[in-house]
Amino acid sequence: MSDLIYRVNMSNLSFKIEEVPASWMGLGGRGLTSTIVAAEVDPECHPLGPNNKLVFAPGLLSGTSASNSGRNSCGAKSPLTGGIKESNVGGTMAGVMSKLGVKALIIEGLPQDDSTFYHLHVTKNNVEFIKVPELVGKDNYFVLDAMLEKYDKKVAVMSIARPGEMKMLTSNISVKDPGGKLRSHGRGGLGAVMGSKKIKCITVDSENYKEVTIADPEKFKEASKIFTKALQENPISGQGLPAFGTNVLVNILNEAGGLPTHNFREGSWKHAENICGETMAENIKARGGKTTHGCHAGCVIQCSQVYNDKEGKYLTSGFEYETIWALGANLGIEDLDLIAKMDALMDDLGLDSIETSVTLGLAVDAGILAYGDGQRAYDLIANELANGTPLGRIIGGGTHILGRLYGLVRVPTAKGQAMPAYEPRAVKGQGVTYITTPMGADHTAGYAVATNILNSGGHVDPLKKEGQVELSRNLQIASAAVDSTGMCIFVAFAALDDAACLPALIDMINARFGISITGDDVVNLGKNILKIEHEFNLKAGLTSADDRMPEFMKYEVLPPHNTTWDFTNEEIDEFWNF
Amino acid sequence: MINITVKLFAQYRENRFKVESRTYAEGITAGDIIEELGVTKVLPLGVLMVNSRHEKEEYHLKDGDTLALFPKVGGG
């Protein structure tokens, strides 16, 4: 059975099932969502208007038995950045869509009657449009429970909560994971795009849940074995991530002076030990819970965890470094358990935990709360944001909007999107990624932290300019390609340091489709994706002036290394010279 | 003699310590301390920092330096 495109039109509640055009055949994940958005969406359209499209595409290897291949991509024009967006997620959706033979799900138009929300139920050759007034005003876990009651437990579910209905720029699209918890298409306000189309939730039922057809099963099995071994034998993906999760980064960034603290005023925080990965792992050991947990079936890295409170009661899972940093060092909350509660709350409300938490860090400068006031921060999310009060709408507009409304200068964003957990003045390669990626400040787009701080793929001095543009460019090209395979970005640690890893990944793609692409083809795929995305942004009205660091980072020195952002515009613009 | 603050992270902490002020003879290198602590017998060295800067094992420590040792770690 060859894969098909499922195209939904919300303007007249209709759908079409189309053959895959030849030029889309070799694409998946980000490569496919960005290609479709660039081909079909007017770059000048309003992201929440009738001409934006919401596109979902599993990766090339999703639905196979390949380790870590369960990432699903979502693309659209972002209401947060005004440019193209791709955000990928674990959970069960990528596998289920692939098993149903859905190469991409494209959602276009807006319903003429916008008095209610719809649930889309996707099955073989069919899309049902179900009005769900009973789910309006409800949050993610309520919707998830309702869907699991209605359908087989294996059905894939994604949904938006109240902030998505209100089209807040901090809203995400939440996806069911194998444990019945939530994962997120987090960044760029994609929940608002789904809300604009009046879609409350989407379920996909593949009816049979067998692995997708493999052109050369023997070759696939062999390559898959090598690939899995590379992930398991790598000290980061095989030992560090399972033991401590992504939160192991708190201490190393803190030690390197690159942990943004108190809205990017300093590079280290004296209370880092309270929130670090080692403390988290100790708590899990003492309280019950799990240090290892996968966000999708087939994950051999298991960087996620189940985190309980002192009484051994479940608090959250998928408790990530970025969220812990943003509420911890950047907003000053020292209580890891309270951070866990806020993480779970943001999951239920479908809020991007980076954008929302960095906005709260900036809200201190606006006089809305004080550093370390975790209770006030919790209440702002649970009451103001969730209910859409005027203050909630302001915070729900994200970091850039809050900064403008309160006349603030120290606003840590690129292309309107809040910066994640690495200080650009102390991890300069990562700063180059933040400002050059077409996505807006995004740490996964080209993870220069690996080479600046973690000694993966060599070492480039994090405090100097030399080599950073080239480093970021190479990583962004590689990430764009990896984001197309359905692979988790953490396979990059093995790919950077183990010569067997990348060839095995390419062999799996070849065996899956019966093709013979080379390493050069993969690099070219990555380059093409970046160029397509950049071109879309230029047509949308972004310019090289949007590839710039916030000015305060150029004149304000960052302790402890007392560095500034010191690149010239020409040095940065060299990024696109490939 | 010189005073060095030694910080250990991730698996290196197990059955050792988080942070300690330790006394060494002058001329000691970061590599000598790694050997003394035996951390790399458990897991290979990932990152070595002295006073928050990446350094190599041959680095000669000075009085008052802070040495931080990490196995290979990653995330994002």
Mean local confidence (pLDDT), A188-205: 98
Distance from CA of B24 to the nearest CA of A (A): 22
Spatial CA neighbour of A86 closest among A522, A356, A417, A400: A417
- Matching residue, tokens 């919790």: A378
Residues 6+ apart with CB under 8 A from A538: none
Query: B52 vs A246: CB contact, 8 Å cut-off?
Result: no
Neighbours of A130 (CB within 10 A): 14
Burial A338-351 (b: 16+ CB within 10 A, else e): bbbbbbbbbbbbbb
* CATH code of B61's domain: 3.10.20.30
pLDDT given at position A1: 52
The backbone torsions φ and ψ at residue A16, rounded to the nearest 5 degrees and listed phi first, read -135, 150
Coil, helix or strand at residue A578: coil
Distance CA B60, CA A534 (A): 47
Residue A424 — pLDDT band, cuts 50, 70, 90? very high
- Are A87 and A73 in contact, with CB atoms under 8 Å apart? yes
Q: What tens digit of pLDDT does each residue of A514-529 get?
A: 999 999 999 999 999 9
Spatial CA neighbour of A289 closest among A248, A330, A318, A323: A318
Distance CA A190, CA A352 (A): 10
Q: Whole domain around residue B11: which residue ranges?
A: 2-71
Query: Which amino acid would we find at residue A118?
Result: Y
Q: What tens digit of pLDDT does each residue of A54-86 get?
A: 999 999 999 999 999 999 999 999 999 999 999
Please spell the DSSP secondary structure of B8-75, one letter per residue: E-GGGGTTS-SEEEEEE-TT-BHHHHHHHHTGGGTS-EEEEEETTEE--TTPBP-TT-EEEEEES---
Whether A573 has a pLDDT exceeding 70, the answer reads yes
Residue A209 — pLDDT band, cuts 50, 70, 90? confident
Whether A51 has a pLDDT exceeding 70, the answer reads yes
Domains along chain A with CATH numbers = 4-204 (3.60.9.10), 251-423 (1.10.569.10), 424-497+517-578 (1.10.599.10)
Distance CA A327, CA A334 (A): 9
Query: A249 vs B70: CB contact, 8 Å cut-off?
Result: no
pLDDT given at position A533: 98
**Residue A426 has which token pair?**
């102390």
Distance from CA of A235 to the nearest CA of B (A): 6
For residue B28, is it within any domain? yes
Distance from CA of A476 to the nearest CA of B (A): 15
How far from A285 is each of A278, A282, A310, A511, A539, CA to CA, in Å? Answer: 11, 5, 11, 42, 52
Mean local confidence (pLDDT), A482-489: 95
Residues of A in contact with B53 (CB under 8 A): 463
Which H helix or E strand runs over A375? helix A374-379
Q: What tens digit of pLDDT does each residue of A487-511 get?
A: 999 999 999 889 999 999 999 999 9
Burial-class residue A426 by CB neighbours within 10 Å (0-12, 13-18, 19+): buried
Please spell the DSSP secondary structure of A299-336, one letter per residue: -SS-BEEEEE-TTS-EEEES--HHHHHHHTTTTT---H
pLDDT given at position A481: 97
The most confident of A150-154, A565-569, B71-75, by mean pLDDT: A565-569
Query: B54 vs A252: CB contact, 8 Å cut-off?
Result: no
SS3 of A331-363: the string is CCCCCHHHHHHHHHHHHHHCECHHHHHHHHHHH
Residues 6+ apart with CB under 8 A from A34: A75, A84, A86, A529, A532, A533, A536
Q: What tens digit of pLDDT does each residue of A279-322 get?
A: 999 999 999 999 898 999 999 999 999 999 999 999 999 999 99
- Are A449 and A434 in contact, with CB atoms under 8 Å apart? no
Is A240 an 8 Å CB contact of chain B?
yes
For residue B33, is it within any domain? yes
Mutation target for A interface from B13, B49, B52: give the one with most A CBs within 10 A. Answer: B52
Percent of chain A residues topping a pLDDT of 90: 96
Number of domains composing chain B:
1
Whether B33 has a pLDDT exceeding 70, the answer reads yes
Query: Which amino acid would we find at residue A485?
Result: T
Distance CA A317, CA A551 (A): 37
Distance from CA of A250 to the nearest CA of B (A): 10
The backbone torsions φ and ψ at residue A466, rounded to the nearest 5 degrees and listed phi first, read -60, 130
- Are A121 and A100 in contact, with CB atoms under 8 Å apart? no
Residue A208 — pLDDT band, cuts 50, 70, 90? confident
ipTM: 0.98
For residue B76, is it within any domain? no
For A248, the closest of B18, B54, B75 (CB atoms) is B75
pLDDT given at position A527: 98
Distance CA A490, CA A496 (A): 10
Q: What is the CA radius of gyration of chain A?
A: 22
Distance CA A143, CA A348 (A): 10
How far from A562 is each of A78, A484, A503, A530, CA to CA, in Å? Answer: 35, 39, 42, 33
- To the nearest whole number, what is the mean pLDDT of chain A? 96
Distance CA A550, CA A555 (A): 10
Distance CA A97, CA A346 (A): 26
Percent of chain A residues topping a pLDDT of 70: 100
- Are A127 and A15 in contact, with CB atoms under 8 Å apart? yes
Coil, helix or strand at residue A373: coil
**Residue A462 has which token pair?**
């994090």
